Amino acid sequence: MSNIYLGYHFTVEPKDTSDSELAKQLGSEILVAELGEKPFESFIETEFGITAYIQKDLWFEAILEDIYILNSPEFTISYKVEEIDQVNWNEEWEKNFEPIDVDGKCHVRAPFHPITGAEFDIVIEPKMSFGTGHHETTHMMIQHLLEMEIANMKTLDMGCGTAILAILAEMKGAKPIDAIDIDNWCYLNSIENCERNNCSQISVYEGEATLLAGKNYDLIIANINRNILLNDMQTYVDCLNPNGILLLSGFYNEDISFIDASCTEKGLKYDKKFERNNWVSLKYHK
């Protein structure tokens, strides 16, 4: 098989511009999920959307024919294709993935970055950049966890992405930990990252909130998006043990009133907020 790749450079433009950054992120995530069902093997988030890579020998003319989001009424998605010879993936990642430092305590890096002296040193294989810590919401969730004493807390990382938050939770002594994501790519990458960081307390599952029936947790971490959080909030509350903690992110400052109303009407009490570039993360307890 040849080492020639095709790079698809997608531009994702939401038609509703009222919440364009969040909508673009969600559109890009849906596009990655759909392309992940094809032979595309690597994804990089860009300023305009995503770039997806596929080996030329695995490409076929109708490869994008049944990608639903390309014809979605909610997005305008365009792309251009270039042929790339002898892709050096480490070089690609080095160009697009910088190590992250959260409050000097937690470093998130790729395998090709040097080991740091941080108290919590997390190694993530950056096959796509969602959930690697670069996004404001993941950064703030890390901040919450760094401040908390979570040893021996039974924990759920809902919408785990790369499992970075579950990994940090184990490093801080939480156990046992469930990590759940609806996307198959995220499920597989989470398993890989847990193994890479020598985690033994994390169980990774592919699915959605229906998997939570009959489960209970001391700590629930949910970094998803406003609509899913609101839809599944009662499930989270039902799973939360007395005095349990719920960490939420994936939404903007303007969404706080909706999230807070849902939490308070279900008996949760507000504790704290982090804000970063208009994204927010909230902490509640039962």
Last residue of a domain, one of 87, 114, 149: 87
In a domain? residue 102: no
pLDDT of residue 129: 43
Residues 255 and 181 in one domain: yes
If asked whether residues 214 and 147 sit together in one domain, one would say yes
Whether residues 80 and 152 share a domain: the answer is no
**253 half-sphere exposure, CB direction, 13 A CA radius:** 5
CATH number at residue 57: 3.30.70.930
User: Looking at the structure, do residues 172 and 75 belong to the same domain, yes or no?
Assistant: no
CATH number of residue 199's parent domain: 3.40.50.150
- Residues forming beta bridges with residue 221, ordered by sequence position: 157, 247
The pLDDT value given to residue 32:
86
The rounded average pLDDT for each run of 10 residues, N- to C-terminus, in the chain (286 residues) is 78 82 83 87 83 88 93 93 71 68 90 86 71 73 96 96 95 98 85 95 95 97 89 96 96 90 97 91 97
Q: What angle do CA 36, 210, 189 make, to 5 degrees?
A: 30
Q: What is the pLDDT of residue 91?
A: 63
Single residue among 69, 87, 105 that ends a domain in this structure: 87
Helices 136-147, 164-171: axis angle to 10 degrees equals 10
- Is residue 92 in a domain? no
Entry pTM: 0.72
Whether residue 32 sits in one domain with residue 152: no
Per-residue pLDDT at 250: 85
According to the model, what pLDDT value does residue 225 have? 80
168 and 54 inside one domain: no
User: Does an H or E element contain 165, and which?
Assistant: helix 164-171
* Bridge partners of residue 223, in order along the sequence: 249
Angle between helices 184-196 and 164-171 (to 10 degrees): 30
CB 195 within 8 A of CB 173: no
- Assess if residue 67 is contained within a domain: yes
Residue 53, domain extent = 4-87
Report residue 58 as tokens: 């695995």
278 and 146 within one domain? yes
Residues 40 and 156 in one domain: no
Same domain, 177 and 75: no
Q: What is the DSSP string of 129-194?
A: STTSS-SHHHHHHHHHHHHS--TT--EEEET-TTSHHHHHHHHTT--SEEEEES-HHHHHHHHHHH
Buried b (16+ CB within 10 A) or exposed e, 243-253: ebbbbbbbbee
Both 167 and 258 in one domain: the answer is yes
Residue that finishes a domain, picked among 71, 87, 103: 87
Q: How many domains, in total, are found in the chain?
A: 2
| Residues 225, 151 share a domain | yes
Neighbours of 82 (CB within 10 A): 10
